[in-house]
Structure 1
């Protein structure tokens, strides 16, 4: 709806419930009940930091498990029917409602306001906003929807809202603000003061405890978010399979060179020289010589364990014994050249 941060707070609250259990000391003593959270630091309050959902029945469990007499509201709203049902529970049990003053644009919007009006004791220090009920963002909200069906559903919904709000003795001028537009209407400070009911019954000590928890909790969530962002930034970038293979070949080439098997320049290219060096090492170490086995963790581990001069050195043959005449045909001519094996090898550098 208006501000996605409220929904995020609800999601993080669910995560926090399990995360803090792993800590030596739970900083908030939090228990999660659907979209509500309860904290041992303010035992008489339930905090609503999420959208309306079908899990509102869990709020009854929270009310039964704890001596709850006030619900703190900070939500974008959500389901009209869940909002009305929860408002009915709040009203029937005589639970107070409170909208704290929050940073940014966090506040009590849309269906959340039904819960606020359900409080026989209520006070709004923060944002309280209402608008027309509707199927926002759904298929029914498109121009292609059947007009008659939309009108029928809207009229039924509006009648239910009016019925609940009348039961809550909501001032009639609220209906004018609520139903006049799909845009949010934000109650100003004077209007919120007029909407307050028996606010003096909420002790200043209780309000202080509530606001202190909200402040600490939001700061805690913000720090978690920053830590998560920092961790993401510090993560090594994802490497493609081709790049992973290139890096693996470079490591193998370096290791082959280190143990005396000349693999040439460590460039990450599996050429004939690297292949020959790897096969030489494998045969010497009595390892398999297939390419799959040569580019493997087992092969790398064997290289790491090998001695510096593991590969056999080339035999040292005197010049007089390996001088040899090579005949070659070049452009139809027969030529002879006196070369050494060492010179031939130098020309086969690949």
Structure 2
């Protein structure tokens, strides 16, 4: 099949979204076309990123002996066209976009242009409950344009609060540069938060985070159920039957400790469990090469499942904060007392970024990245 005939057949299907594929079907000839315009592109408001850069190119079936240019602009009236096909959306406000590079050029002898660049910005100022659309359309061209592919619709909408987590089975994470993680030392009132979904326990000990022999949150032990959290310190361990976790479910976990009173409390899914008194009265000092998430003592004490939204605070969060479901899945990176904030949402590689103070982690091996939609509705 000749290239132009193949393109024509493909475009006939795509054009049905906007125009009927009939006897006067559009033909490519040597018009400008852009198959990426056949479906809207999506920018997710995830509460973290402030901007998203969208790029696309245009093409021609055959080269010409001169440069060809295509310039794009924003046309709010096309929101009605989008809504007639896809549903209800409103125009993206002017302060939330910029045509960074509106003109595409196909140089003489070529068939594909350089990038058109559109920046969607100030994302955290948008309402996550609304759907916005930005119609970016050709306003001038030195060559005729296929009408069915003249317009790009960029859709901006709220994402789930958590979209990616890390499966750290048979894996663990440690600080990249413990000497620089100064705020992880000298914590006298601490809140540790994490979300997890454990496939199974079944091992003597699984590990959440901390330092063996000093201050460690681990699950199970000799004489302790293998699904029961334990605070293990240099001055004894404490645990309670109410500190048990279920498997196969996403759990919002929070642990608080006060060195002045020894009070240690676990929260699961916004429910406050037993408060115990630990014999440990020192501060928590986790700025160490011995600090791990998913490891303690040896490599066999991994957590069999997924983890995300791991945080360390230098204050004890209030009952209202700890019972708030959304708070468990997203907090501002500049929140009062937030020392470390590892979202485990990178989606690739082995580096785990700290959004609070740059206390990044590196996993022993690249974790398996898992797509989720949390909180579950």
- In terms of Rg, which structure is larger? 1
TM-score by length of 2: 0.20
The structure whose residues are more often strand, as a share, is: 2
TM-score by length of 1: 0.21
The structure whose residues are more often helix, as a share, is: 1
